[in-house]
A and B are shown apart, each in its own frame.
Chain A
Amino acid sequence: MFRRLIPLVAVVAMVGAACGSGDSDDSRPPATQTTTSVPRTTSTEPQEPTTTTEAVDGGFPVAIDAPNGMVRIESKPERVVSISPTSTEVLFAIGAGEQVIAVDSMSNFPTNAPVTDLSAFTPSVEAIASFEPDLVFLSFDPGDIVAGLEAIGIPVILHGTALSVDDAYAQWEQTGAATGHFAEAVGLVADTVVNMETEFDSLPEQEVAMSYYYELDPTLYSVTSATFIGELLGPSGMMNIADAGDPDGSGYPQLNAEYIIASDPTLILLADTKCCGASGETVAERPGWDTLTAVVDDSVVELDDDIASRWGPRIAELVMDVVEAMLELEPSNA
């Protein structure tokens, strides 16, 4: 399930190109010897993962095969701006936090991130450029933000909403490669994979398959198994009640209240605790919901919206919360 695809991160160290600026960035030993065989090129061809792994750390310039195209970063970025709460979490988790000079207004984790009033939803080229960044992370380009920043010579990496878990891992590794923390990023991915597998492995066999309802907001929007969250929780073995409610395949159906009552999910996972004040109590007060097994058994899990809506390293915490709630249920299930 967690076989990931490092080759998505195609990082090519361009050794020769950096020769002219040898006086500025030579603090690290050239750990890039293995890549001298790599042709001096901005080729978009994915390189062998093994080559990439050893190639990158400290070796600049690099070329990142980002979703918005090949991004060339001349030297180790020291003025990183993150207009994406997920990227902010990733940057700090891989030890690139000190290189980050500004993050958007929604980047509330970690708490020592340099929050500004930059908007992640309506980013502005001028506002971002005023920080004189040498690398910008974006999760959303409403118009010409990427093109605008590139036009004034600022490298941009656009890491949109991860559609799959592998997609998220690939983004973390690219973030590492772009900031000179590739090894840490690879380590973070490996740790996350192992941690989540360990969590899921701790679950006993379910004699009767459990089910869950995952709530995005109190108007009963949910996620199907085809979404990032659905995939993340897939190894739990639980059935997702929203799967039946998504004929058009958007992955985010609004479920009918009758259907939720009739489905009687084993677990209710609330991802609308911060935004909308949903809690075990508010759910129990909803018309008809007091008949639900999950409400009676107190199996309503109050998740952290922020973690649930991002695709950063804290997904492991979300998995832990869910597995914990499942384990608490087990005795009564037997």
Chain B
Amino acid sequence: MNAGRPSTTRLHWYWVVGATLVLIVAVIAGVMVGPIALSPVDIMASIINRVPFVSLDTELSVRDEAILWEIRMPRVILGVLVGSMLSAAGASYQGVFRNPLADPYLLGAGAGAGLGATIAIVYAPATSSWIVDPLPLAAFVGAIGGVALAYVLGYTVRSGRTAVTLILAGVAVASFLTALQTFLQQRDSDTLREVYGWILGSLNTAGWGDVALIAPYVAVCLSVVFIGRRLLDILAVGDTEAGTLGVRPGRVRLIFVIFATLGTAAVVSVSGLIGFVGIIVPHTVRLLTSASYRVVIPLSILVGGAFLVVADIIARVAISPGEIPIGVVTALIGAPFFAVVLRTSKGVVS
């Protein structure tokens, strides 16, 4: 099907091994490093103790155990899930829209989630008696609603239902929803810091509950994107040409947008709007390896998880015991890093 494409469409085993090692190192660092120094030996012992019928002595107090297992571990795992999902979603968006600037928030998922979160923060009565925490739910619904609106708008255009009209519809919807969000935020100064903090993103208060909440979504959405990644390569030749190859561009686009959005909506609902990951991770992978989505999607999943875990280490350690919003770190560290990759690689951005 892809005769004439260079051999770099192949996913070399050493790329996978390399990216997996990067992820493993990042996760180990994420578990070992924190504002509170716990000895690596004790951490290892505590992890081994989780294996049934094994009991090693550790120097960890009850509180240290809580720090390790209830705060640091879920935070690292959540970082992996969020980073992987945002990177894969970003790569998918770049593929279906053939636009290197596309990111997971392109069609209004970010603006919609922001509006949903703001509504929840401003209007949901403060009480602990909710069955479901209204904030993630509202962000999730907002993200999906934003993209649905953009899709409906983009596909009711009379002339031409192309990727470009969809992007323009997304821009319009995102501006509109952001305006509404800003309006609500301005009217309620008391919640300003909370809204602002949510928009910058944080994994600071994450727990296992958040991990359990988003893991199913991330698993399903990553699987779909992974399985369908070949179709993105076909779309890259253009809608008309893809059509002659038996692919229906509109349908492929819809499927990728649905699953990339579902996954994005799930992760931002617990982490807030962490920016930049969805752009720089796929591009870095592309510049270092291949422009083929058969390579970019799987490697972005691995590298994206690693990138966010590393960004989160910086977020919690740089001004410890203070926190830096992780969205600030991803841009602050990610942008210069990306510039270096851009300068030093010979790769081409498709």
User: A residues bordering B, Cβ < 8 Å?
Assistant: 106, 119-122, 216-221, 244-248, 253-259, 261-264, 273-277, 279, 281-282, 286-288, 290-292, 305, 309
| Contact among A121, A255, A274, A276 with B322 in the assembled complex (CB-CB below 8 Å) | A255
Given A121-B189, A122-B187, A291-B62, verify A220-B323 contact (CB < 8 Å). yes
Given A121-B189, A219-B197, verify A286-B205 contact (CB < 8 Å). yes
State how many angstroms separate the Cβ of B37 from the closest Cβ of chain A. 9
Which residues of chain A are near B187, meaning CB under 8 Å?
Answer: 119, 121-122
A221 to B191, CA, bound (A): 13
Is B35 close to A, CB under 8 A? yes
| Contact among B34, B189, B204 with A120 in the assembled complex (CB-CB below 8 Å) | B189
A286 to B66, CA, bound (A): 11
Which residues of chain A are near B209, meaning CB under 8 Å?
Answer: 287
| Contact among B205, B316, B320 with A219 in the assembled complex (CB-CB below 8 Å) | B205
A-B contact pairs, 17 of them (CB 8 A): A217-B194, A220-B205, A246-B322, A253-B321, A256-B321, A258-B71, A261-B36, A261-B63, A261-B67, A275-B126, A276-B126, A277-B125, A277-B126, A277-B128, A288-B63, A288-B69, A291-B66
In the complex formed, the residue of A with least CB distance to B127 is A277
Residue of B69, B206, B321 with highest tally of chain A CB at under 10 A: B321
Is B158 close to A, CB under 8 A? no
A288 to B75, CA, bound (A): 12
A-B pairs with beta carbons under 8 A, tally: 122
Contact, CB under 8 Å: B35 / A258: yes
Given A255-B321, A277-B127, verify A221-B62 contact (CB < 8 Å). no
Is B193 close to A, CB under 8 A? yes
A286 to B189, CA, bound (A): 26
Given A221-B197, A286-B205, verify A258-B34 contact (CB < 8 Å). yes
State how many angstroms separate the Cβ of B271 from the closest Cβ of chain A. 12
Contact, CB under 8 Å: B205 / A255: no
A276 to B66, CA, bound (A): 24
State how many angstroms separate the Cβ of A257 from the closest Cβ of chain B. 5
Given A244-B321, A258-B71, verify A219-B63 contact (CB < 8 Å). no
1/0 per residue, CB under 8 A from A, across B25-48: the answer is: 000000000111000000000000
1/0 per residue, CB under 8 A from A, across B207-231: the answer is: 1110000000000000000000000
Given A121-B189, A221-B193, verify A288-B322 contact (CB < 8 Å). no
1/0 per residue, CB under 8 A from A, across B86-125: the answer is: 0000000000000000000000000000000000000001
Which residues of chain A are near B283, meaning CB under 8 Å?
Answer: none
| Contact among A258, A275, A281 with B190 in the assembled complex (CB-CB below 8 Å) | A275
Which residues of chain A are near B206, meaning CB under 8 Å?
Answer: 287
A263 to B193, CA, bound (A): 24
Is B70 close to A, CB under 8 A? yes
A277 to B209, CA, bound (A): 19
State how many angstroms separate the Cβ of A263 from the closest Cβ of chain B. 8
Is B300 close to A, CB under 8 A? no
